[in-house]
Structure 1
């Protein structure tokens, strides 16, 4: 009887190995957070070894930055560049549209946001968590300027504070929807409308 010949394992290009490590890291960090995820589990998911991981990334923290923080930073920068292109529409109409788009954005990238929140609650000193997403600082600055332009500086509360509260409200309502709202309380459309109205009432309330 002829002995079967084992097929040689397909060699992956370095760029492919690195990309598969990043995908595996994103999945593990999103599920377990920075502290709970292990490089051993990431290596197993990527069909590689921990030694191979550290050939591409100097530390677990650098892998976190490359798999979670920097991709989310790019996504958020792209979101800000693409949104609110209709500058001719009334300000309130644009604001409602922007809030709806932001909710969609958070839903699309909720695993990354959750991973960053988990990193914030149990992070080591070399992991910045949400503070490591530079685009968030740009987002807050841009939002504060929009509020300041509308109120001509006569604000009940500092715009820098209000835009952060509004963002945190949206983030919490999206990420913790199943926990916050019992089944049957409201459908998705009603929840989105209520969240939008809450943010609008906060940011666009009449100045003093």
Structure 2
């Protein structure tokens, strides 16, 4: 059944009745699943508990998802993939070279980290990737790989314009993204046990300037 179609059920009297739209139901399931995964971990999370959080019968989940892995994939896509698409759009349309592009990413990246469970999802994937490599595969395919590909393309274009010194553009892309991943791990692992919080946007801005100082050629626009 596709999202947006009506779910049809029958009342005790035999009359047809319509539940809320399936798009709304899917949203409820994914919100409940995200809470369950992040609270209990992937292994301990139960679809029955997801159903209880969503206030539905467990059987209804299987109208939308075949397995727990499918539910997790949908949580990642629903929560994080739109922001990856936003990054892709920025790298494809940003004028003025690589420097203004990267400087313009610090604020939205920090906002995404602050308003979504990005840090918690990343920590969950890292902590359970050995036992459940499929989780790492999902996060890589849906989030990391598209983000790296967009940044790699932006770096390669900048190299072609003579803005960035020679080097593997994918490694440059990883260099750009790594501070965010490290900061997410720190904030979700060590801050809860007493480490001092940091200003993520300020950190990302500083990392961008350090990167640009080493990567840009002399003829690149400032």
TM-score, normalization by structure 2: 0.68
**What is the aligned counterpart of 2:113 among 106, 128, 133?**
106
* Distance in 2 between residues matched to 1:37 and 1:203, nearest whole Å: 43
The superposition leaves residues 105-127 of structure 1 with CA deviations (integer Å, 9 ceiling, x where unpaired) of 23222x14522441343243543
* CA deviation profile, 1:158-206 (whole Å, cap 9, x unmatched): 22113213312113224523736944x86x3xx5324322233225514
Q: Cα distance 1:161–1:33, how it changes in 2: closer, same or farther (>3 A)?
A: farther
1:137 aligns with 2:145: yes
CA contact 2:36–2:45 (8 Å) conserved in 1: yes
Q: Tell me if 1:198 matches 2:207.
A: yes
Q: Deviations over 1:44-65 (max 9, x none)?
A: 1011222222232111111111
Aligned-pair CA distance for 1:24: 0.7
Q: Which structure 2 residues correspond to residues 167-182 of structure 1 after superposition, within 5 A?
A: 167-177=177-187, 179=190, 182=195
* Distance in structure 2 (CA, Å) of the matches to 1:200 and 1:97: 12
Counterpart in 2 of 1:5? none
Q: Cα–Cα, structure 1 residues 12 and 100, in superposed 2: closer, same or farther, change >3 Å?
A: same
Q: Is the 8 A contact 1:107 1:174 kept in 2?
A: no
Runs (5+) with no aligned partner, structure 2: 1-16, 218-222
Aligned-residue RMSD, C-alpha = 3.4
Q: 1:72 to 1:39 in 2, by over 3 A?
A: same
Distance 1:49 1:176 in 2: 37
Contact 2:152 2:170 in 1 (8 A): yes
Distance 1:129 1:176, change over 3 A: farther
> Is the 1:120–1:130 Cα contact (8 Å) retained in structure 2?
no
- Which consecutive segments of 4 or more residues in structure 1 shift more than 4 A? 82-86
TM, length-normalised to structure 1: 0.72
Aligned-residue offset at 1:70: 4.6
Structure 1: stretches of 5+ with no match in the other structure = 1-9
Counterpart secondary structure, 1:22: helix
